[in-house]
Structure 1
Amino acid sequence: MTRTELEKRLLAEQDLKYREFHTALLPGIDPKTFIGVRVPTLRKLAQEFSKNASPAEVEEFLQSLPHRYFEENQIHLFIVEKICDFETCLRQVESFLPYIDNWAVCDGKSPKALLKDTTRFESKALEWLKSDKAYTVRFGVNMLMAFFLDERFREEHLKRVATVDENRFEGADRYYVQMVVAWYFATALAKQWNVALPYIQKKKLSPWIHAKTIQKACESYRIAAKEKALLRTYK
């Protein structure tokens, strides 16, 4: 499969109703960049392209930035998250991060090869929090939330996420940074209650993130009713 064939396959899988639905969820993105292909199909096409295209074709696709279509951006990270070599995976992630401009491409990606060197992975995730690109920050928080809230957790992570400077960003960018920080702390309350709770008790988060964290935590099935009742007292 060549890049031209991949684009033809994407266009052949177009669902106009889904395109209309999805563009409404991403109002800041040019509708002309959406084809309208569902995520399971994109994952399937990413797998087929990785398997059937030559390594040179795949590399050319990964280097051809920015991509024309939203769906190509999705496929890009679906390919990258399946790379097995740590150095290659990290290089490809960092090359692509500046081109992410929406939550849908940013979220739900699991580059597990980065776990082959958790020290460097952790360092990079914390470094991404300081980026002037909103979705690089969001990606960094996502990585800490997905891979560093269980056995790899360190209290330092809470401090670093809590001090993300949301005021560097405006409009939708600021909102999506704020949302991921709230999501992170709601998840931390579910997984690391004792060390995360003081951030709510002492109101260490900005007012909007504080309120949204409590809301999301109270919506979580992983937090007990007694703990939710306590959280509500800190609204």
Structure 2
Amino acid sequence: MTIREQLFALQDLGYQKFSSALIPNIDASTIIGVRVPLLRTLAKDIAKGEPLHFLQTAEDTYFEELLLQGMVIGYIKASPQEKLPLIAQFIPKIDNWSVCDSFCSGLKFTKSNQALVWDFLQPYFKSKEAYDIRFAVVMLLNYYVDEQYLQKTLQLLDDVSHEDYYVKMAVAWAVSICYIKMPQETMPYLQNNNLDLFTYNKAHQKITESLRIDKETKTMIRAMRRK
């Protein structure tokens, strides 16, 4: 069976309808409807075989074909120097938030290679492409909200300037994660930043939606919203 045939064998039409509603900016006919745990299992199997051949010959017609490529890159056993070119080749294919965020969450090698990946990410913040920037921002919120990188992370987020909805939402999400994980260190930034009105208020909304924030703090954060 080809990879595409395997994907269609795993199709769940109910899940296909659900996924289509979540990702309105792509053609619903390109979504097969394969649940993520099943995709991960398939990606692990591919990564154990000939993953480089798969990545060189993989098709991009379907949403799940892209998700699968991103997952395989995450699972490949390779040095960071070997992995980064694969990541760079994949990033231009990202055309929706779901592929972007799934891809980022799978790049766990970043945890032990923070400095190297940090340098790799920098050009993507200056890109004019929305999903280049979203990729870089989501990498920040996944791997760079810690004592060493927080202030540099906040500065990068403050410098993001792009009108795309999915970029703004990523920045808001990242700022909220900074506050949720490191509230005292992030509060001065919430009080003094260059975020546009939409992104600023979305960040506050996401903070108040967190189950890790107590009621009193939520009241304080709501009072900080701009009008």
TM-score of the pair, normalised by structure 1? 0.87
CA distance in 2, matches of 1:222, 1:129: 29
Q: Return the offset for 1:61.
A: 2.4
Q: Return the offset for 1:166.
A: 1.7
Aligned residue for 2:184?
A: 194
Aligned residue for 1:139?
A: 135
Aligned residue for 1:170?
A: none
Say if 1:83 and 1:111, in contact at 8 Å, map to a contact too.
no
CA distance in 2, matches of 1:120, 1:214: 31
Q: Return the offset for 1:65.
A: 6.3
Aligned counterpart for 1:19 among listed residues 8, 16, 20: 16
- Give 4+ residue runs of structure 1 displaced > 4 Å after superposition: none
Aligned residue for 1:77?
A: 70
Aligned residue for 2:115?
A: 119
CA distance in 2, matches of 1:64, 1:133: 25
Percent sequence identity is 35
Say if 1:166 and 1:178, in contact at 8 Å, map to a contact too.
yes
Q: Does 1:6 align with 2:3?
A: yes
Q: Does 1:233 align with 2:223?
A: yes
Aligned residue for 1:89?
A: 83
Q: Does 1:181 align with 2:171?
A: yes
Deviations 1:107-166 (A, max 9, x none): 132312234432121122233222222112111111111111024424121011111012
RMSD across aligned positions (CA): 1.8
Q: Does 1:153 align with 2:146?
A: no
SS of the residue 1:107 aligns to = helix
CA distance in 2, matches of 1:154, 1:120: 17
Aligned residue for 1:68?
A: 61
SS of the residue 1:29 aligns to = coil
CA distance in 2, matches of 1:24, 1:230: 34
TM-score of the pair, normalised by structure 2? 0.90
What pairs up with 1:184-223 in 2 under 5 angstroms?
A: 184-223=174-213
Q: Return the offset for 1:28.
A: 1.7
How many residues end up aligned between the 2 structures?
222
SS of the residue 1:190 aligns to = helix
CA distance in 2, matches of 1:154, 1:16: 42
Say if 1:89 and 1:114, in contact at 8 Å, map to a contact too.
no
Q: Return the offset for 1:32.
A: 2.4
Aligned counterpart for 2:27 among listed residues 21, 25, 30: 30
CA shift in 2, pair 1:123/1:16, >3 Å: same
What pairs up with 1:100-115 in 2 under 5 angstroms?
A: 100-108=94-102, 109-115=105-111
The amino acid of 1:162's aligned partner reads D
CA distance in 1, matches of 2:58, 2:126: 23
Structure 2 unpaired stretches of 5+: none
Q: Return the offset for 1:90.
A: 0.9
CA distance in 1, matches of 2:202, 2:113: 33
Say if 1:13 and 1:37, in contact at 8 Å, map to a contact too.
yes
What pairs up with 1:36-51 in 2 under 5 angstroms?
A: 36-51=33-48
SS of the residue 2:32 aligns to = coil
Mean Cα deviation higher: 224-233 or 83-92: 224-233
Aligned residue for 1:171?
A: none
Q: Does 1:59 align with 2:52?
A: yes
